[in-house]
Amino acid sequence: MGSVTSEINARWFRSNRELRTTYVHREFVRELVIQADRSDSKPQFANGRFVFIAEVAPKGVWHTCLRWLPLTSSKRRPSTLACNAVAGPLPDEGQTHLRRVRIETPNHTVRRAWDQAQLDMASLQLEDPTFAKGVFIPAAGVPWFVTLFGRDSLVVSMQGISGYPEFAAGALRRLSELQATADDPERDMEPGKIPHEIRHGELAQLRILPFQPYYGTHDATSLFVIVISYLYQWLGDVAVLERYLPNAEAAMRWIDQSGDRDRDGFQEYKTRSTHGYYNQGWKDAGDAIPHADGSLAPLPLALCELQGYVYDAKQRMADIYEILGRGRKSARLRAEARELYDRFNDAFWWEAEGTYYLGLDGDKRPIESVASNAGHCLASGIVPPERAVIWRHALRNALSPQLTSFGLTLAFAITGSVVIETVFAWPGLGQLAYQAMLSRDYPLIQGTVLLVAVFVLSANLMVDVLYAYVDELLGPSPNYILYARASHSSDPAVREAAMAFREHLIRGMAFNHLGTERPSKRLRAALAGYVAFVEATADQWREQKLRDRGALEQLLADVLVATVGATAPRKS
């Protein structure tokens, strides 16, 4: 057996009333201080236990406060809440804090929502001894990702730029310090690349995992250039561009060289590390990028959003060069961006679905999976305006829950008007109903209740109608429309044939044989053939050549086979 290289030691400091436990594993050292504060009796430590000897009189009170203080390599003790507090701000011990962005409004709901948003943003503020004071860096997320992530910290910086440009400034400052200058395959590190994440735990510090930092992400390098542009546009300070110009140029070199692994003009990723991530886009789960049949797309992968990020980065870098008076470099980048724009829209557009392929796999086959990745392309500007991907695949999918919320809110607003108008003394239907109830004016009460009911029903009806327009799965199906067209024909023969076909479908002859694939498309084809059939055979019906129901159903089965390849059973 090998020797144990880690050890735990505990020391009791009587004067400070604290126990310090130290864990050491090679160069990795962490401490935990448990401190007794404001105790009504002196604490003691024996046999690995805190011991308090307390004499509590009847109905008396005994009190102590235990503070748990984890110490990292800096040995700096963190702040804690006051002794009896369970919530509230930490005591100010010379620490800098994000400035508060206030909003003035008489609406208490809006103000509370804004205050909570402020607290949520403040919770992302990283405290790290390697950061200078006054430098704010957004964490990737609470609680599992409270550390610096290239992609996530930059996205937070972009989305919060109008309220917290300090986040963008801090993220750029720290990531520029960590930008790769060497090549390390085990960390997926290449010169100019922006890191994916940095960890300070035991496995990372001992280099068992490659997170000191790890560079296995593709998009962070493009986003780094984009956030430089964002920060300049918000502050209007050319010094920002001058400061980060070398880093931005190094990032662009990585994009053109290592980012395009096979020199086909598109951005691809493939890990070189034995511990690296298979997927290095924002969907970085191992099985996040499948083909339509569910099989894993082979590396290297050229995801659609990566092309959009690079297009945006090239355009913004061209703007930076133009501002700094470097017109030739600006023109070159704009030409490269235009070429990428054209090639991307030729290679990635998926006409059948009206969106972009999820990406190209290692064999340059399109990944025919509809995913939200294409939505990232909208923000980058790489999508032509004439391609209605926004309405067909972004807004349509997003509007259904919004309509539900709108319908509920509208109904609540109408029915809640009695309370709101009464509290705030506003004239309106609610105030009228309230006064009617006070004076026991029953006809007026009945009228207002009836009117409110009409409003609520109208709101629900409006939402239902909008549902049918927004979501084609909830609206009248093409199958029903085709059936309705035949069943309401002025020709009695066509109507009778429609009823026969309806019975045919109800018995499952069609549905049972069309259920293995998307029924909307296949049944649409079947019913289109059916409508053509009944219209073509209407004259024969009138001539009583097809009066026999069995003959009709045999023809319908033949239509199904001819139009959709279904093996419908024949009527015996």
pLDDT of residue 409: 72
Span 127-136, mean pLDDT? 64
The 3-state secondary structure of 314-329 reads HHHHHHHHHHCCCHHH
Rounded Cα gap, residues 387 and 381, in angstroms = 12
- Report the percent of the chain where pLDDT is more than 90: 23
Residue 572 has pLDDT above 70, yes or no: no
Indicate whether 48 pLDDT > 80. no
To the question of domain 121-387 being in CATH 3.40.640.10, the answer is: no
The pLDDT value recorded for residue 250 is: 95
What pLDDT score was predicted for residue 359?
A: 93
Sheet architecture: strand order including 366-367: 302-303, 359-360, 366-367
Greater confidence (548 vs 477) lies with: 548
pLDDT, tens digit (0-9, with 9 covering 90-100), for 6-46: 788 888 888 888 888 888 887 788 888 888 888 888 888 87
pLDDT band, residue 506 (cuts 50/70/90): very low
pLDDT(79) > 70: yes
Burial 318-334 (b: 16+ CB within 10 A, else e): bbbbeeeeeeebbeebb
Q: Comparing 14-18, 393-397, 488-492, which segment has the lowest mean pLDDT?
A: 393-397
The pLDDT score that the predictor gives to residue 392 is 55
Q: Which residue has the higher pLDDT, 249 or 71?
A: 249
pLDDT value, residue 321: 95
Q: What does pTM read for this prediction?
A: 0.62
What mean pLDDT, rounded, does the chain reach?
76
Residue of higher predicted confidence among 425 and 228: 228
pLDDT digits (tens, 9 = 90+) for 184-207: 998 899 999 999 887 766 666 666
| pLDDT at residue number 332 | 94
**pLDDT at residue 292, rounded to an integer:** 86
**pLDDT band, residue 515 (cuts 50/70/90):** very low
Mean pLDDT lowest for which of 179-183, 365-369, 453-457?
Answer: 453-457
Cβ proximity of 79 and 92 under 8 Å: no
Banded model confidence at residue 477, pLDDT cuts 50, 70, 90: very low
**Residue scoring higher pLDDT (172 or 74):** 172
d(CA 137, CA 514): 55
Using CA atoms, how far residue 461 sits from 404, 453, 467, in Å, is 12, 12, 10
End-to-end CA distance of the chain: 79
pLDDT band at residue 507 under the 50/70/90 scheme: very low
In this prediction, residue 343 has a pLDDT band, given cuts at 50, 70 and 90, of very high
| pLDDT higher than 80, residue 160 | yes
